[in-house]
């Protein structure tokens, strides 16, 4: 999986149908990272997810099929490795995007998406993104969880967890129309 940015015009297009689609543009000093591919539903239509900053309410929430807490290991002052609550992934808010609306974000091009006041700040941010992505890819197995949630929504649309999810079929149709 890789970090990416989504075309803001495409996000606004989806927002006309689903208001909970996340923004990506929070100003030049902030960046909403998306990650891809969770899975590809058909050639050129890729489901993406986003990581969000943890909020106080998230601390009390438990991991569920549509919600995952992301903890990254950090070295404490005492030399021990501790878990830092870095973010959350709301898989119920994953959505499809056409390949043409997705831009890869790398350490080399991150300044195209966010500004940094110093090279040290940039380096720390890239390090945080790398650690988060490692947890997303390995420990949390987010891609597998995302596909299972998608299948659950298809098979059991009235399930309480499924009802929290976007209407994936409608969003897939919108993604296809965007490509036309």
Which tens digits make up the pLDDT trace of 133-176?
999 888 778 999 999 999 999 999 999 999 999 999 999 999 99
5 to each of 100, 140, 152, how far by Cα in Å? 11, 21, 27
**Model confidence at 27, in pLDDT bands (50, 70, 90)?**
low
Q: How confident is the model at residue 25 (pLDDT cuts 50, 70, 90)?
A: low
pTM for this entry = 0.90
Contact predicate 98/174, CB 8 Å = no
What is the predicted pLDDT for the residue at 14? 96
Indicate whether 23 pLDDT > 80. Answer: no
pLDDT, residue 114, reads: 85
Q: What is the CATH number of the domain that holds 12?
A: 3.10.129.130
The token pair that represents 25 in the structure block: 């543009």
CA–CA–CA angle 168, 98, 25 (5° rounding) = 90
**Residue 97 to residue 111: CA distance in whole angstroms:** 23
Could you give the CA distance from residue 14 to residue 23 in angstroms, rounded to a whole number? 11
Say how far residue 16 (Cα) sits from the centre of its chain. 20
How far apart CA 103 and CA 46 sit, in angstroms, is 12
Residue range of the domain that includes 113: 2-179
Query: What is the tally of structural domains in the chain?
Result: 1
């Amino acid at each position: 999986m890789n970090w990416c940015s989504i075309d803001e015009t495409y996000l606004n297009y989806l927002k006309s149908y689903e208001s909970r689609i996340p923004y990506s543009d929070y100003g030049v000093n902030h960046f909403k990272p998306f990650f891809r591919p969770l899975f590809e539903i058909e050639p050129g239509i890729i489901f993406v997810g986003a990581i969000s900053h943890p909020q106080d309410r998230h601390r009390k929430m438990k991991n569920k099929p549509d919600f995952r807490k992301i903890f990254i290991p950090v070295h404490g002052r005492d030399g021990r490795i501790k878990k830092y609550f870095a973010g959350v992934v709301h898989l119920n808010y994953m959505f499809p995007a056409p390949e043409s609306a997705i831009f890869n974000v790398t350490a080399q091009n991150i300044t195209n998406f966010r500004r940094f006041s110093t090279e040290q700040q940039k380096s720390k941010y890239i390090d945080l993104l790398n650690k988060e992505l490692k947890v997303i890819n390995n420990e949390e197995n987010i891609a597998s969880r995302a596909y299972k949630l998608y299948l659950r929504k298809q098979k059991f649309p009235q399930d309480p967890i499924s009802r929290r999810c976007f209407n994936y079929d409608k969003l897939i149709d919108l993604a296809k129309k965007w490509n036309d």
